[in-house]
Amino acid sequence: MQALISELQSADAGAILLNEPLKNHTTWKIGGPADILATVQNRGQLVRLMRLLHAHGTPWHVLGRGSNVLVFDKGVRGAVIKLAGELAEARFENGLIRAGGGYSFIKLSVLAGKEGLTGLEFAGGIPGSVGGAVYMNAGAHGSDVSRILKEAEVVLEDGSVETWNREDLLFRYRHSVLQEKPGIVTEAVFELGQGDRKEIAGAMAAYKDRRLRTQPLQLPCAGSTFRNPEGHHAAKLIEQAGLKGQRVGGAEVSTLHANFIINTGEATAQDVLDLIDLIRDRVRTQFAIELVPEVLVMGERD
């Protein structure tokens, strides 16, 4: 590991932190240390980083803005990668929006609305990064990334760079090919339509008001815990199972929105996992429906 660290530092492969607690980088405020936390500012740094990790056989994970992820309490072996600098910027170009993989998905929706571009209103309540949104085919309010993405630039495990179009990404509900073919989205290009600024602002304001009224956004959480089963809403099933307010250790099913698990202060990853298992068992027993978590789990389990 020391040889790898020395090579990373010599190669200008990003800012390197050792044994960095990931609870400082996740919205759940949960997670042990990463052996290496590498923050890269541009594609060149990321390519060099990936080539060195590949050469050393070092496992890696990418961490966007820290939502939708549960990091185990023992932390993550290998490298965790964050995108910053040029990889967390956005710009308009010939009627398209080009956004770095590290750019805020919420901020992108606001930026588009101010330009009178419609199609990203649904993203106003999705707290992750652009890259994470592509990876998960994030969606809400009847729309998702697959409807507006033109193409994405991806750095693969060996450091090679490819551009994938919408069809290449094999989108389906909360899924893209990136979940089988690991890579890091460095840039996503979105095609949006022209709309009325006032109508766009009105729709986004309504969505925001609804989120503030129905989601525990002021508390440490990771967004929705489970995918919606076909024909059902996970939150409604959990509520009907009598699980609002259910606690395991420091983890609690939100009393505001049953598909959110909150960290009440000192929750561990195991608390969250045990609560997830309890919810799944109860819903399976009462309704014969299998809830599938949409939270990504990262690291070394106890």
pLDDT digits (tens, 9 = 90+) for 217-274: 889 999 999 999 999 999 999 999 999 999 999 999 999 999 999 999 999 999 999 9
The CA-atom distances, in angstroms, between 108 and each of 115, 234, 292 are 11, 27, 28
* 224 is a catalytic site residue: yes
For 61-99, the pLDDT digits (tens) are: 999 999 999 999 999 999 999 999 999 999 998 879 999
Of 242, 223, 202, 20, the residue nearest 121 (C-alpha): 202
The CA–CA distances, whole Å, from 208 to 56, 104, 126, 202 equal: 45, 16, 11, 10
Q: Nearest to residue 271, comparing CAs of 33, 73, 17, 58?
A: 73
CATH number of 89-199: 3.30.465.10
Both tokens assigned to 79: 């490298």
Task: Using a cut of 0.75, tell me whether the model's pTM lies above it.
Answer: yes
Amino acid letter, residue 195: G
Query: What pLDDT, on a 0 to 100 scale, did the predictor assign at position 94?
Result: 82
Of the residues 224, 252, 254, 282, only one is catalytic, namely 224
Say what the pLDDT of residue 247 is.
98
Top CATH class, 217-298:
alpha beta
Please give the Cα distance from 247 to 240 (Å, whole number).
Answer: 16
Mean pLDDT on 286-292 = 98
From the list 77, 147, 166, 174, the catalytic residue is: 174
Tokens read off for 203: 């729709």
Q: Going by CATH, does the domain composed of 2-85 fall within 3.20.20.10?
A: no
pLDDT at 213 over 90: no
Q: Residue 212: is its pLDDT beyond 80?
A: no
The residue-averaged pLDDT of 11-17 equals 95
Count of CB atoms within 10 A of residue 181's CB? 15
Of all residues in the chain, the percent with pLDDT exceeding 90 is: 87
**294 labelled catalytic:** yes
Q: Where are the domains of the chain?
A: 2-85, 89-199, 217-298
Tell me the CB-side half-sphere exposure of residue 104, using CA atoms within 13 A: 9
Q: Is it the case that residue 210 has pLDDT exceeding 70?
A: yes
Intra-chain end-to-end CA distance of the chain, in Å = 22
pLDDT at 302: 66
Cβ–Cβ < 8 Å for 62, 19? no
174 is catalytic: yes
Answer yes or no: are the C-beta atoms of 38 and 14 closer than 8 Å: yes
Average pLDDT taken over every residue of the chain = 95
211 has pLDDT over 90:
no
**pLDDT, greater one: 46 or 94:** 46
